Amino acid sequence: MRTVLAWLDTLAALALLGMMALVVADVAGRYVIGRPLPGAIELVQYAMVLVVFTGLPVVTHRRKHISLGMLDRWLGNSARVWHQRLLDLSSAVVLAVMAWILFNAAGVARDQGDVIGYLNLPVYPAAYFMVLMSAVTAMLCLVLTLAPPPEPTGGAAH
């Protein structure tokens, strides 16, 4: 599991590095020589899909989502555990529904031959990748629902 998460983490980092390089090259080309990098916007969009959706299972596994502990001071330890389990379960449901909706949208995009921009990149591979990562993260949330409770973190916002 850690190997897969490390691979996903590396893929997200490389996609982010690629996005930065594309944007720098595009801006430099646009303002220095008066010619933007053809297709840079489309490639940045694809890289953004990689950054966001490869990061989703990694952040979920590490429990590093942005959260507010507004209820923590009023909840005891066992109530916090059940609260976390409810959050994990509801996240699994939301992600599963999102995967299902994306799966249907990816099929429509594939059937219609949808493409984006200058490079005519097909939309459906990115959409199916989003389906895969959403479904993996939904399953991970289910596993976390049944896992031993996380260590208490303390503090109001974490």
Task: Tell me the Cα Rg of the chain.
Answer: 20
Q: Where are the beta strands (DSSP E) in the chain?
A: 115-116, 121-122
- Residue 153 is predicted with a pLDDT of 56
Q: What is the dihedral of CA 57, 58, 59, 63, to 10 degrees?
A: 90
**Structure-token match 């299902």, residue found:** 100
The Cα–Cα gap between 120 and 113 comes to 10
Tell me the sheet residues that pair with 121: 116
Q: Is 113 buried (19+), middle (13-18) or exposed (0-12) by CB count in 10 A? A: exposed
121-122/115-116 β-pairing: antiparallel
- Do the Cβ atoms of 131 and 99 come closer than 8 Å? yes
- Residue 150 is predicted with a pLDDT of 60
Mean pLDDT taken over the chain:
90
- Residue 66 is predicted with a pLDDT of 75
- Residue 155 is predicted with a pLDDT of 47
Whether the pLDDT of residue 151 is over 70: the answer is: no
